[in-house]
A and B are shown apart, each in its own frame.
Chain A
Amino acid sequence: MPQLEEVTLEELKNMVSDRALTGETMMLNLGPQHPATHGVLRLLLELDGEIVINVIPDIGFLHTGVEKNMEAKSYQKAEVMTDRLDYLNPVGNNLAFCMAVEKLVDLDVPPRALGLRVIMTELQRIASHLVWIGTYGLDLAAMSMFMYAFRERELILDMFELISGQRMMTTYFRPGGVWRDAPVEFEAAVRDFIKIFPKRVDEYEGLLTRNPFLLDRLYGIGKLTKEKALSLGATGPILRSTGVDWDLRKARPYMGYEQYDFNVPVLTEGDNYARYLVRVQEMRESLKIVEQALNKLPMGPVRSDNRKFVPPPRSEVGVSMEALIHHFKLWTDGFDAPKASIYSAVESPRGELGVFLEGDGGPNPYRIHMRTPSFENVALVSAISKGHLVADLIAIIGSLDFVLGDIDR
Chain B
Amino acid sequence: MDTKLEKIVQALQAEFKAQAEEFRGEAHVFVDAARIADALTLLRDRHRFELLSALTAVDYWPQTQPRFHVIYQLTSIAENLSLMIRVPVDGDQPEVPTVTGVYGNANWREREVWDMFGVRFTGHPDLRRILMAPDWEGHPLRKDYPLGYEEPQFTFNIKEIDSRKPYAKE
- Residues of chain A at the chain B interface (Cβ within 8 Å): 2, 5, 14-15, 59-60, 63, 65, 67-69, 71-72, 103-104, 106, 228, 230-233, 235, 244, 246, 251-252, 340-343, 345, 352, 354, 356, 358, 366-367, 369, 371, 375-376, 379, 408-409
Inter-subunit contact A15/B126 (CB<8 Å): yes
Question: What residue of chain A has the Cβ atom nearest to residue B86's Cβ?
Answer: A341
- Residues of chain B at the chain A interface (Cβ within 8 Å): 23-24, 26, 28, 50-54, 56, 58-59, 71, 73, 75, 77, 80, 82, 84, 103-105, 107-109, 112, 116, 125-126, 129-135, 140-141, 145, 147-148, 154-156
A340 to B25, CA, bound (A): 12
Inter-subunit contact B59/A367 (CB<8 Å): yes
A398 to B52, CA, bound (A): 24
Inter-subunit contact A244/B77 (CB<8 Å): yes
* Contact of A5 with B134 at beta-carbon distance under 8 Å, contacts A343-B82, A367-B58 already known: yes
- Contact pick for B147, options A72, A252, A356, CB 8 Å: A72
A409 to B73, CA, bound (A): 19
Which residues of B are found within 8 Å of A65, using beta-carbon distances?
Answer: 140
Inter-subunit contact B147/A232 (CB<8 Å): no
26 chain-A/chain-B pairs, Cβ below 8 angstroms: A63-B132, A68-B145, A72-B148, A230-B50, A230-B51, A233-B103, A340-B23, A341-B58, A341-B71, A341-B84, A342-B26, A343-B53, A343-B73, A352-B53, A352-B75, A354-B53, A354-B54, A356-B56, A358-B58, A369-B54, A369-B71, A375-B108, A375-B109, A375-B112, A408-B131, A409-B131
Which residues of B are found within 8 Å of A340, using beta-carbon distances?
Answer: 23-24
Question: What residue of chain A has the Cβ atom nearest to residue B83's Cβ?
Answer: A343
- Contact pick for B53, options A60, A233, A341, A358, CB 8 Å: A233
Smallest Cβ distance from A366 to chain B, in angstroms? 7
Which residues of A are found within 8 Å of B82, using beta-carbon distances?
Answer: 343
Inter-subunit contact B105/A379 (CB<8 Å): yes
A376 to B82, CA, bound (A): 18
5 smallest beta-carbon distances between A and B, as pairs: A233-B105, A60-B131, A371-B54, A2-B155, A369-B56
Inter-subunit contact B105/A68 (CB<8 Å): no
Smallest Cβ distance from A360 to chain B, in angstroms? 10
Is chain A's binding surface mostly helix, strand, loop or mixed?
A: mixed
Question: What residue of chain B has the Cβ atom nearest to residue A103's Cβ?
Answer: B24
Which residues of B are found within 8 Å of A376, using beta-carbon distances?
Answer: 105, 108
- Contact pick for B130, options A60, A69, A252, A354, CB 8 Å: A60
Smallest Cβ distance from A297 to chain B, in angstroms? 28
A65 to B136, CA, bound (A): 14
A120 to B84, CA, bound (A): 30
Smallest Cβ distance from B111 to chain A, in angstroms? 10
Inter-subunit contact A246/B73 (CB<8 Å): no
Which residues of A are found within 8 Å of B58, using beta-carbon distances?
Answer: 341, 358, 366-367
Question: What residue of chain A has the Cβ atom nearest to residue B134's Cβ?
Answer: A5
Inter-subunit contact A341/B135 (CB<8 Å): no
Which residues of A are found within 8 Å of B140, using beta-carbon distances?
Answer: 65, 68
Which residues of B are found within 8 Å of A103, using beta-carbon distances?
Answer: 24
Which residues of B are found within 8 Å of A358, using beta-carbon distances?
Answer: 58
A59 to B75, CA, bound (A): 26
Inter-subunit contact A356/B107 (CB<8 Å): no
Inter-subunit contact A71/B23 (CB<8 Å): no
A32 to B104, CA, bound (A): 25
A2 to B80, CA, bound (A): 53
A69 to B140, CA, bound (A): 11
Which residues of B are found within 8 Å of A68, using beta-carbon distances?
Answer: 140-141, 145, 147
Smallest Cβ distance from B117 to chain A, in angstroms? 10
A363 to B108, CA, bound (A): 31
Inter-subunit contact B77/A246 (CB<8 Å): yes
Which residues of B are found within 8 Å of A375, using beta-carbon distances?
Answer: 108-109, 112
Which residues of A are found within 8 Å of B141, using beta-carbon distances?
Answer: 67-68
Which of B51, B52, B107 is the most central at the interface, judged by chain A CB atoms within 10 Å of its CB? B51
Smallest Cβ distance from A271 to chain B, in angstroms? 19
- Contact pick for B51, options A15, A235, A343, A408, CB 8 Å: A235
A375 to B58, CA, bound (A): 19
Q: A59-B131, A342-B23 are in contact. List 12 more A-B contacts (CB 8 A).
A: A14-B126, A60-B129, A67-B116, A67-B141, A68-B140, A68-B141, A233-B51, A251-B77, A251-B80, A340-B24, A369-B56, A371-B56
Inter-subunit contact B125/A371 (CB<8 Å): no
Inter-subunit contact A71/B147 (CB<8 Å): yes
Question: What residue of chain B has the Cβ atom nearest to residue A375's Cβ?
Answer: B108
A87 to B23, CA, bound (A): 32
Inter-subunit contact A343/B104 (CB<8 Å): no
